[in-house]
Amino acid sequence: MASNLVYVLNGPNLNLLGTREPEIYGSQTLDDIGEMTAAHAETLGLAIDMRQSNHEGHLIDWLHEAQAEGIKAVLLNAGAYTHTSIALHDAIKGIKVPVIEIHLSNPHNREEFRHISWIGKAAKATIAGFGAKGYLLGLDAVSRF
């Protein structure tokens, strides 16, 4: 069992971080965020497995895998699936592994359609609006589980 391992799952278009609307999402790439998150995890006695997919089914499979592998927790930035995916909602509800929803921006300060989060309705907690530091805040929370 990998009780100190945290999955950090990233959804669609997050592979474009650093170039995609940096005024909203910042200038750090997903690789930059991964390095920063891994370093912070180490200081907390945790390890991360960071993944990204533009495909909903991959994210669902990884949530199921987290349960099967006994992962400590999942940080999930589901991207636009946040607002549309009942399938991800159901996958989170179907596992016992705590899931923390992460958003780089604050969806409530953005377009109306972003105000609904199917992920947040199933997740243990939501961290939003802190940019890439949200991943670190998520790890800080996980370290207290």
pLDDT bucket at 145, cuts 50 / 70 / 90: confident
Instruction: Look at residue 135 in the predicted model and tell me its pLDDT.
Output: 97
Instruction: Look at residue 50 in the predicted model and tell me its pLDDT.
Output: 97
pLDDT bucket at 1, cuts 50 / 70 / 90: very low
pLDDT bucket at 111, cuts 50 / 70 / 90: low
Please indicate whether residue 103 is annotated as part of the active site: yes
Instruction: Look at residue 2 in the predicted model and tell me its pLDDT.
Output: 54
Q: Compute the average pLDDT of residues 44-73.
A: 97
Name the DSSP class of 83.
G
Contacts of 97 (CB under 8 A, 6+ apart): 63, 66, 67, 71, 72, 73, 74
Are 59 and 49 contacting, i.e. CB atoms less than 8 angstroms apart? no
Decide: residue 51, CB within 10 A, 0-12 exposed, 13-18 middle, 19+ buried.
Answer: middle
pTM for this predicted structure:
0.90
Sheet of 125-128: strand order equals 47-52, 5-10, 73-77, 99-103, 125-128
Q: Looking up tokens 């802190």, which residue turns up? A: 130
Select which of 7, 89, 103, 135 is catalytic. 103
Select which of 7, 25, 81, 135 is catalytic. 25
pLDDT of 25 strictly over 50: yes
